[in-house]
Amino acid sequence: MMKLTDLFDGHWPQTILFDLDGTLVDSAADLTAAVDQMLRELGREMAGEARVREWVGNGVAVLVQRALAGRHDHEAAGPLDEDTYRQALARFFDAYHDHNGLYATVYDGIETFLSQARQQGCRLGVVTNKPAAFTDLLLDQMGLSHWFDITVSGDTLSVKKPHADPLHHALEALGGDAGRALMIGDSVTDVRAARNAGLPVVAVRYGYNYGAPIDSLGAEIVVDSLTELL
C-alpha cells in the first residue's frame, strides 16, 4: 500500500487538515440522541443510529432536513414547511448542546497518528461542517484540542465543504503551502473539498460516507486506520 510520504517525495506533508465527525471522532451516538429527541418532541418516529450515520456530513441544516424527510435524498421528498424546519432546527440545537460529547469516542489510532505527525513537524488543523458552537467543545471533551492550531467550522465562512474556501482558509491560517498539504476525511464531501482545493486526500473507511463505500471516490490512499500511514 502507498505510504503517506509517497505523496510528498519521501517527506511528510507540512500541513494536514482533518475532518472531525467520522474521521477523528465517532459522534454518531450523540447526533442520534439529538435527532431522536428532536423528532420525538415533534411527535415523529425516531430515526435510530443506523439511519443517522447515513445522514451526517453536510452540516446540521442538511442533517435536520434529512431527519424530517426520513431519507438521505431529502430534496426528492419535496419542499419542507419553513416553520416546521425552523422549529426542528432549534430543537436539534438544544438537544445536541446537551448530548455533544456525551457518547462520542476517539477512533483507534488517531492519537498515535497525531503524535507522529507533530513529531514530524506537521501543522495540524480541523475543517468540519459542524457548527462552531459544537466543534471546539467536542474537541475539548475528547482531549484532542491541543493537537490543532486552527479549527474551521461549517459556519466560520459563508460556504462549507465541499467548497475549497474552508480548506484554503485553514491553510492560510497555518501558513501552509497547498503543494505540501493533505486532507484526511471519511466522505465524498471531504474528497470533493480536497479536489476543489487542489490537495491530495486520504480517506478512511470507518466513517460516515452516506452508507456508500469510499474506495471508489479516487482518494490517493484509503485506509482502515490512520496508523497504516505510518
Residues annotated as catalytic are 19
Cell of 207: 466513517
Q: Give the 3-state secondary structure of 161-187.
A: CCCCHHHHHHHHHHCCCHHHEEEEECC
Q: Is there a contact between 30 and 103 (Cβ–Cβ < 8 Å)?
A: yes
Sign of CA dihedral 50, 55, 56, 62: negative
Q: Residue 80 carries which DSSP code?
A: P
Place of cell 477523528: 24
How many whole angstroms separate alpha carbon 159 and alpha carbon 153? 10
Measured distance CA(181)–CA(122) in Å, rounded:
9
